[in-house]
């Protein structure tokens, strides 16, 4: 039985801006940083506290919580047809080491607020509804990111991902066991359990909504990305004595690579995204010519041909400026541009119009768990503005009313899809 | 009463190549690395074990050990005139994080071998002789390097140096207390206690002796050096979304600085030494535009005018390529070129000639504790070859016969100066 426009408007009205904001503030206490952000890397004690709070909220709502083999959490509100595959929304509670209060957390909390609104508006759906907290979206402590959703849709990658060693030497399997020991007895969700649809709310992390005065972004898809790990090998020597002509200086070579790669990626249209975010020199002593550098490359571009051609030139450009050093370029992740479902996009657009929220279509520059979910069910995303487009930064900020507007769109979209 | 040429020849002959080599091998067990080097940073458990072994050897020789307020160790063999200021030799047992078996250790062990040879040749000197193990020559864990000798000759720097925080968050004072708790009761050596002369043996750490077929380097002095710490401040942002034109990428800016500074320092005569050995990017996550980089600069040059002019241009060159980032250049250490004592150089040259060792004069590119000791007494240094000139590297290597030749020169030099 389809819900009426009146039902959906009533649901939107039941979304409580103040309650949603308070949930954000409470969640942001776990891993709070002096600059107002959060450091809540995947399955650290702070992330585990955040997960336990989510479970308490679910219990308060009378919802069941299940967990799958990679630690993704599913908060379920039963529909009238409990056998039908559910509709889901959600995102992730983990953060970058110097992250903000909204990246990820918003998508989960908008889902919880939706559950409160469904309860308060006394709306019963046909399909069940689930709110998901995906494990390790950020990929800081454990690489790669969007790991939880990736394993959920491709279960044969479970074993490899559980063996990933974090920056602190702990494996994913060990970190996960730490969480499971604290969460207590819960139901197990099978990997690749069927879903009839997925929609994720997120801050935009770019300035286009703000620049155009829109509040809702109807996301058309996620741009493709290629990630690399580069190792530059030189030779350690005494910095006061070894003649310059005989040195193999890995920091000098790597610095030339960073500069040359930025020249390669220069884009007058400013659509290409290129970043060297990790740059580690060994042994890292001031008086030692550095013998080795490892750096990361994150390269994204909506144009598939361009991404193919430029990405394939990275190793060659590094070699050209390596001088006496050796260089090894390893591609560790690769994703094509993912288009979202047209039907879901239309439901989102209708929901925004129903509450008179100015909206625009846009492509996501960032990867999200929705990219993986799009492989198994009709999927879409809802963006809201963040101040200055700044994210992955402790000063990341969003307004209570924009957060509520996005939650109203999510609630209507999920409810309409759940019927 | 001066020793005769025959006494000095007898002393040189008493230096035991095999015993000296075995001491090196035994010492190299503390902090031994898989690649054959050592990681024995200042006052770590490995360095403390090395220090305790030195104390046991001293006791075996019947020598007294005293320690000063910065942890420098003094092994004393009394002369006939115990009131006269002693003659000293020595170096340091601490190493770089990926250092070799000979850098520093050789200067201490050549001194211990000298004490064995004096005993075996039954030679009594007028002045007392001391073998010194200086604290924190390398400056890896605690900056700056040559800290122990610096505090010894400038006691008013003691308090500041004890407060230095190591790369592991431990203060110099805490690390030193850990050693003092293990070493047991020892005599205290006052800082700036008088010495009548100092001579230090060391591997060359450069390829000139090897290239010219010489075995003994009579060191004429130590080239001047300037050390800096550079902080580049950008802004953290999401690497997949933030437009390139709006980024403040600290790794890109710092990479341009490294390249531009190497261009500034380019020297057709290859006398200038320039190194960026530490390069740390924060927060260091692949998907975050890096908000901050800190890197070290080690700049040395024997030409005082050139060092002054080029060093003063470093901040300007960094600013020129900083783009949207801020940059702060802090000079943390500065040393003029230090000439050694002509009289000591002549004693060293005579000692080399007495055992028919080919010798040459050369300037040291590296800093050594002798630079500080030269401020309080006539000072010199003896270099021996190391393979390929490679040092500050686990593969650092020297031959038993070259090590013994250097020890024979040190023994004669110290004995002649001690009379």
Name the residue of chain B whose CA is nearest to A390's CA.
B237
Domain boundary among B273, B306, B335: B335
Query: Token pair 């013994």 is at which residue?
Result: B404
Preceding amide of A144 cis, omega within 30: yes
Together in a domain, A207 and A288: no
Which residue in A238, A246, A300 is closest to B392 by CB distance?
A: A238
Does residue B217 sit in the same domain as residue B325? no
Within a 13 Å sphere around the CA of B57, how many CA atoms are in the beta-carbon half? 27
Q: B246 vs A389: CB contact, 8 Å cut-off?
A: yes
| CATH code of the domain containing A40 | 3.40.630.10
Determine the pLDDT at residue B144: 87
Instruction: Provide the chain A residues 303-332 that lie in CB contact (below 8 A) with chain B.
Output: none
Give B136's contacts in chain A (Cβ within 8 Å).
none
pLDDT at B333: 87
Q: What CATH number corresponds to the domain at position B256?
A: 3.30.70.360
**If you write DSSP's letter for every residue of A211-254 in order, what string do you get?**
HHT-SEEEEEEE-EEEEEEEEEE-B-EETTTS-GGG-B-HHHHH
SS3 category, B60: helix
For chain A, the distance separating the N- and C-terminal CA atoms, rounded to the nearest angstrom, is: 6
Number of domains chain A is built from: 2
Res B392: pLDDT: 87
pLDDT digits (tens, 9 = 90+) for A143-164: 889 999 999 999 999 999 999 9
Give percent of chain B above pLDDT 70. Answer: 100
Are A288 and A311 in the same domain? yes
**Helix (H), strand (E) at residue A316:** helix A304-320
Scan residues 128-187 of A and list those with Cβ closer than 8 Å to B: 138-140, 143, 145
Please check whether residues B238 and B343 belong to one and the same domain: no
Whether residues A14 and A148 fall in one domain: yes
Report the residue from A97, A223, A256 with minimal CB separation from B283.
A97
How many CB atoms are located within 10 Å of the residue A306 CB?
15
Domain boundary among A282, A301, A335: A335
Which residues of chain B have a CB within 8 Å of the CB of A139? 285-287
Which residue among A243, A259, A392 sits closest to B237, beta carbon to beta carbon?
A392
B268 and B353 together in one domain: no
pLDDT of B15 reads: 98
Cβ contacts of B148 within 8 Å, gap of 6 or more: B70, B71, B72, B92, B134, B135, B136, B137, B369
**Domain boundaries, position A143:** 5-223+337-418
Mark whether A65 and A201 lie in a shared domain.
yes
Label residue A392 by pLDDT band (50, 70, 90). Answer: confident
| Distance, CA of A185 to CA of A378 (rounded, Å) | 32
Q: Are A343 and A108 in contact (CB under 8 A)?
A: no
Looking at the fold, whether A356 and A281 belong to one and the same domain comes out as: no
* Distance, CA of B396 to CA of A110 (rounded, Å): 60
Mean of pLDDT values over A310-333 = 97
Predicted TM-score (pTM) of this structure: 0.82
Q: Is-contact B281 A294, C-beta < 8 A?
A: no
Nearest Cβ partner of B241 from A252, A267, A391? A391
Q: Judge if B142 and B264 occupy the same domain.
A: no
Restricting to A residues 101-120, those with a Cβ less than 8 Å away from any Cβ of B are 103
Do B312 and B357 share a structural domain? no
Between the CA of residue B400 and those of B15, B125, B212, B406, what are the distances in Å?
A: 12, 27, 19, 10
pLDDT digits (tens, 9 = 90+) for A59-90: 999 999 999 999 999 999 999 999 999 999 99
Q: Using CB atoms and an 8 Å cut-off, which of residues 353-412 of chain B contact chain A?
A: 364-367, 389-394
How far apart are the C-alpha atoms of B105 and B95, rounded to whole Å? 8
| Interatomic CA distance for residues B290 and B302, integer angstroms | 37
Give residue A138's pLDDT. 94
Q: How far is CA B34 from the centre of its chain?
A: 23
Is there a single domain that holds both residue A35 and residue A120?
yes
Give the rounded percent of residues in chain A with a pLDDT score beyond 70: 100
Quickly state the pLDDT bin for B143 (edges 50, 70, 90).
confident
Q: Which of B317, B335, B353 is the last residue of a domain?
A: B335
Q: Do A277 and B239 touch (CB under 8 A)?
A: yes
Say yes or no: B142 and B249 in one domain: no
**pLDDT tens track for A29-65:** 999 999 999 999 999 999 999 999 999 999 999 999 9
């Amino acid at each position: 039985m389809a819900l009426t426009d009146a039902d959906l408007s009533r649901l939107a009205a039941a979304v409580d801006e103040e309650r949603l904001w308070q949930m954000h503030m409470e969640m942001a206490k776990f891993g709070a940083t002096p600059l107002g952000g959060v450091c809540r890397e995947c399955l650290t004690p702070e992330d585990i506290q955040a997960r336990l709070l989510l479970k308490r909220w679910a219990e308060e709502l009378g919802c069941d919580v299940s967990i799958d083999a990679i630690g993704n959490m599913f908060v379920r509100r039963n529909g009238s047809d409990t056998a039908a595959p559910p509709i889901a929304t959600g995102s992730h509670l983990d953060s970058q080491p110097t992250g903000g209060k909204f990246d990820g957390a918003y998508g989960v909390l908008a889902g919880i607020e939706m559950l409160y609104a469904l309860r308060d508006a006394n709306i019963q759906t046909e399909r069940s509804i689930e709110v998901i907290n995906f494990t390790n979206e950020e990929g800081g402590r454990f690489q790669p990111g969007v790991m939880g959703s990736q394993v959920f849709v491709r279960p044969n990658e479970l074993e490899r991902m559980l063996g990933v060693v974090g920056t602190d030497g702990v494996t994913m399997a060990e970190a996960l066991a730490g969480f499971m020991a604290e969460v207590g007895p819960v139901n197990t969700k099978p990997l690749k359990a069927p879903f009839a649809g997925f929609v994720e709310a997120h801050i935009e992390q770019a300035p286009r909504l703000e620049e155009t005065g829109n509040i809702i972004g109807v996301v058309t898809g996620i741009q493709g990305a290629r990630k690399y790990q580069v190792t530059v090998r030189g030779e350690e020597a005494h910095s006061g004595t070894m003649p310059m002509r005989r040195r193999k200086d890995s920091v000098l070579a790597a610095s030339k690579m960073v500069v040359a790669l930025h020249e390669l990626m220069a884009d007058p249209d400013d659509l290409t995204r290129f970043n060297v975010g990790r740059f580690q020199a060994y042994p890292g002593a001031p008086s030692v010519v550095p013998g080795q550098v490892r750096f990361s490359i994150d390269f994204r571009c909506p144009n598939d041909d361009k991404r193919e051609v430029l990405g394939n030139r990275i190793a060659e450009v590094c070699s050209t400026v390596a001088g006496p050093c050796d260089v090894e370029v390893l591609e560790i992740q690769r994703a094509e541009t993912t288009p979202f479902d047209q039907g879901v996009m239309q439901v989102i657009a209708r929901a925004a119009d129903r509450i008179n929220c100015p909206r625009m279509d846009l492509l996501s520059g960032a990867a999200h768990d929705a990219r993986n979910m799009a492989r198994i069910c009709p999927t879409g995303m809802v963006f809201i503005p963040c101040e200055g487009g700044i994210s992955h930064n402790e000063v990341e900020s969003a307004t209570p009313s924009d957060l509520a507007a996005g939650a109203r769109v999510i609630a209507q979209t999920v409810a309409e899809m759940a019927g």
